[in-house]
A and B are shown apart, each in its own frame.
Chain A
Amino acid sequence: MSELAKMKFYCDDQRCIECNSCSVACAEAHELPTGVSRRKVITLNEGIFGKEFSTSVACMHCTDAPCEQVCPVDCFYIREDGIVLHDKEICIGCGYCLYACPFGAPQFPRDGAFGTKGAMDKCTMCAGGPEETNSSAERELYGQNRIAEGKVPMCAAMCSTKALLVGDEQEISTIYRKRVASRGKGVQSAPYGWSEEYSKQ
């Protein structure tokens, strides 16, 4: 990975078959409570031929992450490789990041009476959090830190059809363009949230 590498996700909806491998793998790997889905597969127009399609959504680790901009307690931080993380010890669960997020990524586990929201939880791209890398505190709060171990995030590793890709922005965009070109027919629109995720340059 070059110094300028910016890590991104990309889900190819032409390949996504709603098998849910990504979301189940994520939940298993990070031992999430069942109410929280850091990654979710969503299908539209289910059962209608020619219109049904599925895609997998999670935090897209935006370049100018809106969540980071609106957080009143500044709990977000963006790593050099572009991964957007947050500190659960600082987060107050106000929900502002959810309002700012184009992808509906922030999740709020409900704890306590009347559904008090706990600290926000979201996809970490399997890069843990601010605690000491691979410490039990990190594991407890954020799940596995696979990036530190040089591994691919769980969801992309488990994707059945390799619809879900993760890696350097440039690399991903090359693969995407190659796929579009080789399919060779139809007009392929840019994938969801492409412009948001890859800043507005």
Chain B
Amino acid sequence: MKKYLFLFIASLFLTSAAFAADSQIWDAMRIQNILEYGQDESLKLGPLFTMLQANYFAQAFLAVLVGVPAVFLLHYLVIGPKVFSHDGKKVYTFSIFNRIVHQIAAISFMVLVPTGFIMIFGANFGGGDFVRMMKDLHGLATISFAIVVIPMFLMWIKDMFLHLDDIKWLMIVGGYLSKTKRPVPAGKFNAGQKTWYWLATLGGMIMILTGASMYFLDFNIAMINSLTGLSQIDLLRVAAILHAVVGLAVVALFFVHIYMSVFVIKGAIHSIITGYKEEEEVKYLHSSWYKKLKKDGKL
């Protein structure tokens, strides 16, 4: 863990040293960049980014910001939450390590997502010092998220591979569209959680990398340039586009995650605080895991 922290901070320093080196954006490559901009034979990343950023990104985020909660509100009103007994036995689900890692990530997200939104709609906040501060906070929160993203990735990965249950789960949308309590096919993590896991970790890493490259802007990593065949400026454009697209998905599922844990499954949030899930909850929502636990006599 300490080693991680150390490595991360060291790499930060290294990157900031690297960008003091020859700039590909403002020096030798500049004419090449100008020539290729919008040319047929080029990737047209500049115009693509301009078009997307000017016309779609902010709108898409607005749609997520408004649309997703609206759907949930509808769901809550029509179908309502699932309530499980909190008086029954509990199943120990999350170790203390799991919980700490999750909590750090959760706090990071609580900062990253709103600050990200503020930047996207920066014009509505008048730009300037406030938005700039949000931008810096966004960067700071990235550091804590970056520290936990790999431990998080590793600690749950063995439970996160695709299973037959997941397809069944998806067919019935996890049973969330019906008011009846029926056992839903799922292991320790259901297909929804698995999707969120992959997006939050792999997608999160993409967010970190693309974000960092935009933050450091003029870094010099010849390897990436030669590996991707992209010029530095195009790399940045790809980063900006990816950051927006992946960010959109992450944010949407982040909202789902919150809705599930806080609103739909009453009290589910306690499991990541105490480490214990309600037995009834496990029985219905993670029926395959429940069976397995039973068989192993772990209950």
List chain A positions with a Cβ less than 8 A from chain B: 37, 40, 42, 44, 55, 57, 66, 69-75, 87, 89-96, 98-104, 107-108, 114-117, 192-193, 195-196
Contacts and interface: CB of A to CB of B under 8 A. Distances in A.
Interface stretch (B34-42, B190-198, B259-267): B34-42
The majority secondary structure among interface residues of chain B is helix
Interface residue range, chain B: 35 or more
Interface in B38-64: 38, 46-47, 49-50, 53-54, 58
A95 B214 contact: yes
Contact of B127 (A44, A75, A101): A75
Given A40-B30, A192-B31, A91 B127 contact: yes
B34 A99 contact: no
A89 B25 contact: no
A57 B236 contact: no
Contacts of A66: 46-47, 50, 54
Given A74-B123, A102-B38, A103-B34, 18 more contacts: A42-B27, A69-B50, A70-B54, A74-B127, A92-B122, A92-B131, A95-B217, A96-B53, A98-B217, A99-B237, A103-B30, A104-B233, A108-B218, A114-B13, A115-B16, A117-B215, A193-B34, A196-B37
A90 B46 contact: no
Nearest to A69: B54
Interface string B113-125: 0000001111101
Contact of A104 (B33, B122, B125): B33
Contact of B30 (A75, A100, A104, A116): A104
Contact of A115 (B28, B121, B216): B216
A90 B126 CA distance: 7
Contacts of A87: 127
Contacts, number: 114
Contacts of A40: 26-27, 30
A71 B122 CA distance: 9
B243 to A, nearest CB: 11
B30 A73 contact: no
B132 interface: yes
B136 interface: yes
B142 to A, nearest CB: 12
Interface string B1-39: 000000000001100100100000111101101110110
Interface of B: 12-13, 16, 19, 25-28, 30-31, 33-35, 37-38, 46-47, 49-50, 53-54, 58, 119-123, 125-128, 131-132, 135-136, 214-218, 233, 236-237, 240
Given A99-B237, A114-B12, A108 B46 contact: no
29 contacts: A42-B31, A44-B31, A57-B30, A66-B50, A69-B54, A70-B49, A70-B53, A70-B54, A73-B123, A74-B123, A75-B127, A90-B126, A90-B128, A92-B119, A96-B240, A99-B236, A99-B240, A102-B37, A102-B46, A103-B30, A103-B34, A104-B25, A104-B26, A104-B33, A108-B217, A114-B16, A115-B216, A116-B136, A195-B38
B26 A107 contact: yes
Contacts of A107: 26
